[in-house]
Structure 1
Amino acid sequence: MNNHHFLIDYNLKELTEHSTTTWSIALYHTKICDHRSGHIPLHWHDEFQFVFILEGEAEFHINEETICLKEVDGVFINSGCLHMAKDANGTTCTYLCLNVSPHFITANELFTTFVHPYMHASQTPYILLNRKDHWPNHIYQCIQTIQRLIDETPAYYELELNIQLITMWKCLLQNGFQIKYDARQHDKNERMKPMLNWIHQHYHE
């Protein structure tokens, strides 16, 4: 599924409804230069995002940090974090992108303990994922399985899809996802959103 253009509100929140089926999940193959602006503009959303580079190189800006991703690289972007992406080093980048609602990761009884605290871990806006390492590659394989399940919709695929998501999430929690909350950093990030939107709206001035 390609996403050539998406709407952003006055606060830079993406307005796209990330839903591939009846579930709060969407999977995209994104070619950055196909976007109307030639890059993925600065935005944020409530969904968790998993990105894996398939071809070329990309420069991602996440909150106040810049990272360069090459083939076999990937990144997890936390809920609510400002981010944008553009082609890097003269390449044309294509990446696989999975967006999933935090509330779809686990059952309600587990959400409070195993998901909610990590959504607000202001010190962890992203986690690098390199497919040369075992556990990030396992996450990538789970996303490939999710793609097949969405395309083929075999019997009981909904249950298998949920298994894959929980497996991915468990991998993150077991490999360095720290629950660290800094109220000052959170407030700073929230103030940045309208400020950056004002700059975007008045850039020509």
Structure 2
Amino acid sequence: MGQNTIAINQQFQEITEQRSGALPVQYYLTAFHALVDGRLPWHWHDEVQWVVMLQGEAEFYINNDSCTVKQGEALFINSGRLHAAHHGVLPSEYLCINVDPSFLIPEALHETYLTPFITATNFSWIRIPAESLWGKTIMRSLLSLQHLLEEKPFHFELQAFTVLNNVWRHTIGHEPILTYHPAQEREEQAMKQMLGWIQRHYAESLRLEDIAQAGSLSRSECCRYFQRILQTTPMSYVKEYRLQKSMELLQASKTSVTDIAFQVGFSSASHFIEPFVGISI
């Protein structure tokens, strides 16, 4: 199964049917060169996610952290975390497995071995090294899970549950003492609200005050949040998002450059064309 684009709703939440048959699990292969501008845009989803880098390498951004994942390595991204990615110098491809957290272990164990890890603010992601025994176990298990979901042998659902239980056990077994900071949680929620507002209104004339208001923040707080989490300014992000949407339109339609420029919110075609100098579409 391949996936070269992701659908995102107005809160920047990824829209996917996270199921393989009756299982709350989805897997897909993504090649970065097939994505618009070789980038995976900022988004989030309720499912936990494991990424196995099959070829090349990629830089992943999770909240205000970044992590390089090379061929043979894997990455765990927790539920609800904002993240984005772009490929490195070489062509890259990865296997992505998204799972409803409630399916990882029996419900009777959620309070002890699930909820504390899903809600901990210091457990946003883990790089899974290829050279470690536990890392090899996780990656071997994820690839076997892919095989199960593709072949669907008799009672594969039970086997998949067992595999995921093992993957989760090894994933949480290498995390330090869990912490929860309400202020960090509020910051992440505010970012989701502001990004969602930009997605709904990017084609309009946007002001910093409007973006800040979407997150119930002052202008200065809004700028600090964007700089700390996305390493950019709010208005620079708006420009980047408009360019991302315009490239999708350029690839999918025969609409003129001038019309696309106005569709995505640029005030003139010249303002739209300038950032494309040196970019291959």
Determine if the TM-score, normalized by the shorter chain, exceeds 0.5: yes
Letter in 1 for 2:153: P
Q: Secondary structure at the match of 2:80?
A: coil
Q: What percentage of aligned pairs have identical amino acids?
A: 31
For residues 23-58 of structure 1, the C-alpha deviation after alignment (integer angstroms, 9 at most, x for no partner) is: 000111111221245321110000000011111110
Letter in 2 for 1:5: T
- Count of residue pairs the alignment pairs up: 204
Cα displacement (A) at 1:177: 5.4
Letter in 1 for 2:46: D
| 1:43/1:82 contact within 8 Å kept | yes
Counterpart in the other structure of 1:185: 184
Cα distance in structure 1, aligned partners of 2:138 and 2:57: 20
Counterpart in the other structure of 2:68: 68
| 2:44/2:80 contact within 8 Å kept | yes
Quickly say closer, same or farther: Cα 1:94–1:18, change in 2 above 3 A. same
Counterpart in the other structure of 1:118: 117
| 2:50/2:77 contact within 8 Å kept | yes
| 1:33/1:92 contact within 8 Å kept | yes
- Within 5 A, what are the aligned runs for 1:39-188? 39-88=39-88, 90-176=89-175, 178-188=177-187
Structure 1 residue runs of 4 or more that deviate by more than 3 Å after TM superposition: 196-200
Letter in 2 for 1:29: L
Counterpart in the other structure of 1:196: 195
Which has the higher Rg, Structure 1 or Structure 2?
2
For residues 58-89 of structure 1, the C-alpha deviation after alignment (integer angstroms, 9 at most, x for no partner) is: 0111001121111122210000000011111x
| 1:58/1:87 contact within 8 Å kept | yes
| 2:148/2:160 contact within 8 Å kept | yes
TM-score (norm 1): 0.93
TM-score (norm 2): 0.69
Cα distance in structure 1, aligned partners of 2:170 and 2:16: 27
The farther-off stretch of 15-24 and 47-56 is 15-24
| 1:124/1:178 contact within 8 Å kept | no
| 1:32/1:85 contact within 8 Å kept | no
Letter in 1 for 2:106: A
| 2:28/2:97 contact within 8 Å kept | yes
Cα distance in structure 1, aligned partners of 2:45 and 2:26: 13
Cα distance in structure 2, aligned partners of 1:80 and 1:178: 20
Quickly say closer, same or farther: Cα 1:156–1:20, change in 2 above 3 A. closer
| 1:10/1:194 contact within 8 Å kept | no
Unaligned runs of 5+ in 2: 203-237, 243-265, 267-281
Q: Secondary structure at the match of 1:187?
A: helix
Unaligned runs of 5+ in 1: none
The farther-off stretch of 160-169 and 172-181 is 172-181
- The one of the two structures with greater contact order (alpha-carbon pairs below 8 A, sep at least 6) is 1
